[in-house]
């Protein structure tokens, strides 16, 4: 009998150690000593700081939850905005075990109820973590140990050099937070330039999930909204406002990049086909997205950018362009920049309903693809970007339309083999040969000057209505087979689809290399 008791005691101790607990924070004090770790669920008995609660959670194990019930007599209460501000004197303890920090538990906090179609975020936050300023080496919250997973809800966090650092595999959840803004979401919390980062991750991130309550505002960070250093599990970024105020009506100054992604071998989904999953990525001074994959060969989990509004307000009609730096107006930048070697590991848009992005009003190109290949760009709408809609480049200095070359010979690999050193191997764009109206229909005749040896056939031909060389509305899709290579091919579609606009065509080979747009013409009756 004694032997059985000895065997069970360690198991009982382990069960107790892993029991999840809830800790109630009732003060903005930064004291993390034992006296501030009482953290009872009854506010009358609690004496608990955020630092103390994190210390308690670290010692306990299991998935713990931190909630808030702070009186308005607390020294950290800000009467003008009726919220509570935490100003830690040093970094908070690292998150070393699964932890949920729920700012919506503070009385008076309210989750967002608006969908992306209805507007921005109407969330009311009550808990703010405020750092010393981005010039100081500081991190707001930091998940760093082993398999620790952090869920952050309903918290404004700002003025740290890195507001949120997620350095474990995750998944980590960020829901209904304001990252980089003040408590209202309408102002940038940091007024100076610097290297401030909203979220920096080397693990799986779920930032919003398409529900109104999970919608984040990630804006006003002086450098990058989301910096993805990850080469691990697939992340999801859905339904957020990245670069704008909480209303989705204006840019918050200072954020250079909305999303900056490198080494993205396991991909991500930015946006989604349902309007509820749409991100608004606008007003970022250098670019909405900068994607630098390091991938060899085909990628089974591409980095997908789907169904977003990029460079507009929440309605998709008013301009809040990316890549327009008021401090350096002579150096505009692309809305989306892609640079890498080998496969881009990237898809922008898609065939399904709602998968195309709206990319508008940017300071330069809509999308710049530099050096890597196999980046399909289909189903998107481009509106009044100041540069070409899609630019395939061989270097950062090689900007602007690339003329078609005979047979598409510039698609060949460099001498001696190796990776392509040009964007989407400089796939030639379609050329319009004729456009003839007959009754309510119009017949388009075009060709693509690409030898079979220089592309993977068949080619997909996207035909759109647009202006200024930018495809605004899809008209038709055609298939251009190897038997057609270099030869004229015709397709007929309703004349009403053009609505008096210009034709804009692109070609995408079977490996996913999309061309620049070509063939823009405006016709009254027939080809001229």
Of 129, 158, 191, the residue at which a domain comes to its end is 191
> What confidence tens digit (pLDDT) does each residue in 328-377 have?
778 899 999 998 878 888 899 999 999 999 999 999 999 999 888 899 99
Q: What is the pLDDT of residue 12?
A: 34
Q: What is the pLDDT of residue 394?
A: 83
pLDDT exceeds 80 at position 19: no
Please state the domain count of the chain.
Answer: 2
Distance separating alpha carbons of residues 445 and 519, to the nearest angstrom: 11
Query: 């990058």: which residue's tokens?
Result: 224
- Whether 378 is covered by a domain: the verdict is no
Q: Which of 117, 124, 187 is nearest to 158 (CA)?
A: 187
CB atoms within 10 A of CB 301: 15
Question: Which range is least confidently modeled, 113-122, 145-154, 418-427?
Answer: 418-427
CA triple 72-76-77, angle to 5 deg: 35
Structural contact between residues 340 and 270, judged by C-beta atoms closer than 8 angstroms: no
Q: What is the pLDDT of residue 274?
A: 97
Identify which has the larger pLDDT, 298 or 474.
474
CA dist list (Å): 177 to 156, 313, 381: 6, 20, 30
> Confidence class of residue 395 from pLDDT cuts 50, 70 and 90?
low
Distance separating alpha carbons of residues 475 and 105, to the nearest angstrom: 50
Q: What is the pLDDT of residue 419?
A: 53
- Whether 76 is covered by a domain: the verdict is yes
pLDDT exceeds 90 at position 316: yes
- Whether 475 is covered by a domain: the verdict is yes
Distance separating alpha carbons of residues 367 and 377, to the nearest angstrom: 9
For 297, residues 6+ apart whose C-beta sits below 8 A from its C-beta are: 342, 343
Greatest Cα pair distance, the chain, in angstroms, is 100
Q: Report the pLDDT averaged over residues 233-254.
A: 94
For 150, residues 6+ apart whose C-beta sits below 8 A from its C-beta are: 95, 98, 99, 100, 101, 141, 143, 166, 172, 173
Question: Which range is least confidently modeled, 42-56, 392-406, 464-478?
Answer: 392-406
Of 138, 170, 191, the residue at which a domain comes to its end is 191
Q: What is the pLDDT of residue 1?
A: 36
For 172, residues 6+ apart whose C-beta sits below 8 A from its C-beta are: 143, 149, 150, 151, 152, 166, 201, 203, 204, 205, 206
Tokens of 269: 């989904």
- Whether 112 is covered by a domain: the verdict is yes
Q: What is the pLDDT of residue 468?
A: 85
Question: Which range is least confidently modeled, 89-98, 153-162, 393-402, 404-413?
Answer: 393-402
- Whether 366 is covered by a domain: the verdict is no
Q: Which of 71, 64, 63 is nearest to 46 (CA)?
A: 71
- Whether 59 is covered by a domain: the verdict is yes
CA dist list (Å): 451 to 332, 486, 523: 36, 7, 29
Q: Report the pLDDT averaged over residues 465-493.
A: 95
E strand or H helix at 331: none
CA triple 493-385-347, angle to 5 deg: 70
Q: Report the pLDDT averaged over residues 204-217.
A: 96
Query: 């017949």: which residue's tokens?
Result: 443
Query: 């967002």: which residue's tokens?
Result: 112
CB atoms within 10 A of CB 406: 11
- Whether 452 is covered by a domain: the verdict is yes
> Confidence class of residue 486 from pLDDT cuts 50, 70 and 90?
very high
- Whether 327 is covered by a domain: the verdict is no
> What confidence tens digit (pLDDT) does each residue in 88-123 have?
999 999 999 999 999 999 999 999 999 999 999 999
pLDDT exceeds 60 at position 16: no
pLDDT exceeds 90 at position 225: yes
What is the CA 523 to chain-centroid distance, rounded? 39
Q: Are strands 489-494 and 441-447 parallel, antiparallel or unpaired?
A: antiparallel
Structural contact between residues 100 and 53, judged by C-beta atoms closer than 8 angstroms: no
Q: What is the pLDDT of residue 526?
A: 39
pLDDT exceeds 90 at position 398: no
Distance separating alpha carbons of residues 154 and 104, to the nearest angstrom: 5
Please provide the average confidence, as pLDDT, over all residues in the chain: 89
pLDDT exceeds 90 at position 15: no
> What confidence tens digit (pLDDT) does each residue in 158-182 have?
999 999 999 999 999 999 999 999 9
State the residue range of the domain holding 461. 406-508
Of 168, 191, 214, the residue at which a domain comes to its end is 191
Question: Which range is least confidently modeled, 46-50, 295-299, 514-518?
Answer: 295-299
CATH classification at residue 475:
2.60.40
Q: Report the pLDDT averaged over residues 62-72.
A: 95
pLDDT exceeds 90 at position 417: no
């Amino acid at each position: 009998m004694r032997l059985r008791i000895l065997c069970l005691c360690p198991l009982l101790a382990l069960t107790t150690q892993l029991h999840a607990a809830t800790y109630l924070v009732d003060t903005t004090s930064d004291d993390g000593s034992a006296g501030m770790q009482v953290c009872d669920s009854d506010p009358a008995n609690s004496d608990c700081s955020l630092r103390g609660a994190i210390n308690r959670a670290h010692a306990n194990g299991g998935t713990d939850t931190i909630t808030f019930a702070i009186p308005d007599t607390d020294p950290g209460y800000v009467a003008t905005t009726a919220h509570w501000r935490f100003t830690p004197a040093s970094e908070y303890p690292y998150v070393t075990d699964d932890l949920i920090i729920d700012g919506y538990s503070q009385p008076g906090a309210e989750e967002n109820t608006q969908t992306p179609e209805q507007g921005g975020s109407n969330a009311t936050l009550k808990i703010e973590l405020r750092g010393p300023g981005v010039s100081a080496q500081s991190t707001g919250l930091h998940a760093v140990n082993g398999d620790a997973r952090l869920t952050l809800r309903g918290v404004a966090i700002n003025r740290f050099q890195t507001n949120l650092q997620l350095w474990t595999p995750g998944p980590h959840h960020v829901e209904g937070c304001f990252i980089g803004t003040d408590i209202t979401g309408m102002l940038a919390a940091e007024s100076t330039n610097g290297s401030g980062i909203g979220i920096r991750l080397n693990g799986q991130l779920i930032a919003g999930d398409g529900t109104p309550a999970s919608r984040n505002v990630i804006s006003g960070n002086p450098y990058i909204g989301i910096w993805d250093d990850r080469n691990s599990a697939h992340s999801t970024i859905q339904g957020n406002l990245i670069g704008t105020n909480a209303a989705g009506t204006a840019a918050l100054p200072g954020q250079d990049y909305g999303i900056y992604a490198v080494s993205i071998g396991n991909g991500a989904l930015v946006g989604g086909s349902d309007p509820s999953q749409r991100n608004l990525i606008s007003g970022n001074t250098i670019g909405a997205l900068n994607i630098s994959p390091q991938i060899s060969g085909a990628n089974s989990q591409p980095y997908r950018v789907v169904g977003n509004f990029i460079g507009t307000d929440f309605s998709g009609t008013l301009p809040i362009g990316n890549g327009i730096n008021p401090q350096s107006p002579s150096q505009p930048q692309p809305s989306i920049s892609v640079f890498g070697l080998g496969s881009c590991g990237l898809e922008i848009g898609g065939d399904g309903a709602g998968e195309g992005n709206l990319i508008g009003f940017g300071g330069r190109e809509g999308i710049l693809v530099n050096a890597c290949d196999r980046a399909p760009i289909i189903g998107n709408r481009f509106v009044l970007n100041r540069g070409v809609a899609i630019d395939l480049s061989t270097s950062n200095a090689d900007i602007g339309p690339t003329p078609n070359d005979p047979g598409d010979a510039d698609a060949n690999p460099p001498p001696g083999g190796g990776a392509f050193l040009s964007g989407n191997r400089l796939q030639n764009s379609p050329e319009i040969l004729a456009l003839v109206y007959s009754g309510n229909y119009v017949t388009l005749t075009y060709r693509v000057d690409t030898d079979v040896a220089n592309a993977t056939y068949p080619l997909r031909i996207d035909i759109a209505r647009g202006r200024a060389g930018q495809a605004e509305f899809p008209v038709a899709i055609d298939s251009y087979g190897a038997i057609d290579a270099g030869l004229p091919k015709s397709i007929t579609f309703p004349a009403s689809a053009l609505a008096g606009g210009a034709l804009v065509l692109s070609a995408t080979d079977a490996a996913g290399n999309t061309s620049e747009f070509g063939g823009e013409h405006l016709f009254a009756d027939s080809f001229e």
